[in-house]
Amino acid sequence: MDYRDTPEEAEFRASLRAWLAENIPAGWDKIEDRDEAARMQRAWHRTLYEAGYIGMSWPKEYGGRSLSPMYEAILNEEAGNLNAPRLPSVGYIGRAVFTYGSEEQKKRFLPPLLSGEAQWCQGFSEPEAGSDLASLRTLARLDGDHYVVNGQKMWTSGGQYADWCLLLARTDPDVPKHKGISAFLVSMREPGVTVRPIVLASGEAETCEVFWDDVRIPVAQRLGAPGEGWRIAMTTVAYERGPADIGFIASYRHTLRRVERLAAERGLLERPETRKKLAAAYVRGEVLRLNCMEQLSLRVSGREPGPEGSVAKLLWADAEQSLQHLAMDILGADCMTGAAGEWLGSYFTSRPVSVYGGSAQIQKNIIARMLGLPR
Ligand SMILES: Cc1cc2nc3c(=O)[nH]c(=O)nc-3n(C[C@H](O)[C@H](O)[C@H](O)COP(=O)(O)OP(=O)(O)OC[C@H]3O[C@@H](n4cnc5c(N)ncnc54)[C@H](O)[C@@H]3O)c2cc1C
């Protein structure tokens, strides 16, 4: 694939760049209050949607523009370059609904997902079911035209701000574990849903425990057939990554330049050890970029994302964690104090990158299977 922009893509990139320069909310990255940051994210989603930048690759009949995924990659790249707030990730929930949803579900759930009117979270993991997700124990018992759900979910990111949840629960305990799981589209406002934010080492509460006590879900809100939950979960996870990675690369480079400036300010740029680590960080970014471009070209040619996303996930976690580690090396004890204190928060934020979305060890298992290595 030729990675250069076509004339149409170049024109789109130029008008997008101008639009971003006008519309990125000033001072968004200085907001400290979590609720205010969540409100800013919601407003940002709305602004992007109204300008036609959300769901560009989605079919027109569901509110998209039927454009190639290249346009989303360009949006991610330009937003990352200009240090815009995080772009909303509607793709993976959207993909689950328009692959497995009934026509009625698509009409009901897709437009508010795109517009940002409805925020979603993903209720998959449980205290005893993370890597081994198929052993989840939250139970959904059929009772007339409703399911009654009981159980506990863990690490539900954004659960405290979400309006809806894509929930996995066991509907048949008597069949092999992968086959007894179903997926549900559930309002987080239902009676019986209790959300408890978890404060992480970074000081942020970006994820939650969610308790489900006798929560009633209409049968019409089951996504797909009974027992199809595992397949739906795997589709969702495969689409969590993709063109959005390009945005990560742009913001990675932005951080790398800041780390380089930190080294220069402290007179460490001439130190061979620091130079070697900075060079390695540049190489990691470039390896990740090339990997992303390859995946993007497969996506553009119509191939569904598959297990090769595990390679990108590993490269990404390694790049992000090594870079934040390098910032700690450069700052030494200064990272605990004053203006440099924000780096400690970013360091802690980088630690779970190798855990969420499937841990590094699990990604290695998937790659080993892909390569046909002995088990
Ligand atoms: C910040 C954050 C946000 C998250 N957001 C969400 C979310 O929004 N929704 C959601 O559903 N979940 C979310 N998760 C959960 C995440 O997907 C799980 O934490 C992850 O899958 C690991 O599961 P676990 O925590 O139960 O660890 P475990 O599965 O208990 O793993 C513990 C350790 O054992 C290793 N291990 C386990 N099994 C194997 C194996 N077969 N081979 C080799 N090593 C193995 C793991 O790699 C890990 O190092 C989030 C997690 C974090 C930390």
pLDDT beyond 90 at 3: no
Backbone region of residue 27 per phi and psi (left: phi > 0; alpha: psi in -120 to 50; beta: other values): left
Domain carrying residue 348: 241-370
Which residue has its alpha carbon closest to ligand 1 atom 23?
130
CATH number of the domain to which 170 belongs: 2.40.110.10
Give the Cα separation of 113 and 343 in Å (integer). 33
Residue 348 Cβ contacting ligand 1 at under 6 Å:
no
pLDDT in tens, 99-110: 999 999 999 999
**pLDDT for 74 beyond 80:** yes
Q: pLDDT of 31-49, one tens digit each?
A: 888 889 999 999 999 999 9
pLDDT (tens digit, 9 = 90+) per residue, 127-178? Answer: 999 999 999 999 999 999 999 999 999 999 999 999 999 999 999 999 999 9
CA 178 to chain centre: 24
% the chain with pLDDT above 90: 69
206 flagged as catalytic: no
| SS3 assignment, position 125 | coil
Same domain, 221 and 295: no
If asked whether residues 215 and 257 sit together in one domain, one would say: no
Q: The tokens of 324 are what?
A: 């934040």
pLDDT for 353 beyond 80:
yes
Q: How far is CA 55 from CA 5, 254, 305, in A?
A: 20, 25, 17
Q: Give the closest residue (by CA) to ligand 1 atom 52.
A: 356
Residue 242 reports pLDDT greater than 60: no
- Residue of higher predicted confidence among 373 and 301: 373
* Same domain, yes or no: 145 and 204: yes
Q: Is the pLDDT at 292 greater than 90, yes or no?
A: no
Identify whether residues 191 and 261 lie together within a single domain: no
Q: Do residues 254 and 361 share a domain? A: yes
216 and 245 in one domain? no
The reply to whether ligand 1 has any atom less than 6 angstroms from the CB of 156 is yes
What is the whole-number distance in angstroms between the Cα of residue 128 and the centre of ligand 1? 10
**Please, which pLDDT band fits residue 90 given cuts at 50, 70 and 90?**
confident
Q: What is the pLDDT of residue 351?
A: 94
Number of domains in the chain: 3
User: 312 vs 166, which has greater pLDDT?
Assistant: 166
Q: Ligand 1 pocket, 343 CB below 6 A?
A: no
Cβ-based neighbours of 60, under 8 Å, separated by 6 or more: 66
193 and 165 in one domain? yes
Q: Do 217 and 136 belong together in one domain?
A: yes
Report the distance separating Cα 239 and Cα 147, nearest Å: 27
At 322-344, the pLDDT tens digits run 999 999 999 998 888 777 778 99
Q: Is residue 102 part of a domain?
A: no
Q: Name the band, by pLDDT with cuts 50, 70 and 90, for residue 294.
A: confident
Whether the CB of 131 sits within 6 Å of ligand 1: yes
Other C-beta atoms closer than 10 Å to the C-beta of 71 total 19
**What pLDDT, in 10s, does the model give residues 243-270?**
556 667 888 988 999 999 999 999 999 9
Question: Pick the residue with more confidence: 92 or 180?
Answer: 180
What value, to the nearest 5°, has the Cα angle with vertex 239 and ends 233 and 245? 140
pLDDT of residue 133: 96
pLDDT value of position 244: 56
pLDDT at residue 23, rounded to an integer: 97
Whether 57 and 98 have beta carbons less than 8 Å apart is answered as no
Mutation choice for ligand 1 from 119, 122, 125, CB with most ligand atoms inside 8 A: 125
Cα-based angle 84, 341, 328 (whole degrees, multiple of 5)? 95
The confidence score (pLDDT) of residue 1 equals: 67
Looking at the fold, whether 270 and 358 belong to one and the same domain comes out as yes
Cβ contact 168:136 at 8 Å: yes
Atom number, ligand 1, closest to the C-alpha of residue 207: 3
Say whether both 55 and 140 belong to one domain.
no
Q: Please give the Cα distance from 275 to 263 (Å, whole number).
A: 9
Cα separation, 29 vs 72, in Å, equals 23
Strands 146-157 and 181-187: unpaired
Distance 133 CA to ligand 1 centre (A): 9
8 Å CB contact between 318 and 284 = yes
Lowest-pLDDT choice from 63-72, 235-244, 317-326: 235-244
Q: Work out the pLDDT band at 201, boundaries 50, 70, 90.
A: confident
Let me know if residue 103 belongs to a domain. Answer: no
d(CA 341, CA 363): 32
Going by C-alpha positions, the residue among 159, 165, 57 that lies closest to residue 109 is 165
Q: Check 78, 240, 308, 320 and give the catalytic one.
A: 240
Answer whether 358 contacts ligand 1 (Cβ < 6 A): yes
Q: Is residue 151 included in any domain, yes or no? A: yes
User: Per-residue pLDDT averaged across 335-360, rounded?
Assistant: 88
* Gap between the Cα atoms of 113 and 163, Å rounded: 10
Asked if the structure places residue 159 within a domain, the reply is: yes
For residue 305, the domain's CATH number is: 1.20.140.10
DSSP H or E run through 222: strand 222-223
Query: pLDDT tens across 49-69, in order?
Result: 999 999 998 888 888 899 988
Q: State whether 28 and 64 are in the same domain.
A: yes
Rounded to the nearest angstrom, the distance between the alpha carbon of 104 and the centre of ligand 1 is 34
pLDDT at 354 over 90: yes
Does 159 sit in the ligand 1 pocket, CB within 6 Å? no
Mean residue pLDDT across the chain: 92
Query: Which numbered atom of ligand 1 lies nearest the CA of 129?
Result: 26
Q: From the CA of 363, how far away is ligand 1's center (Å)? A: 11
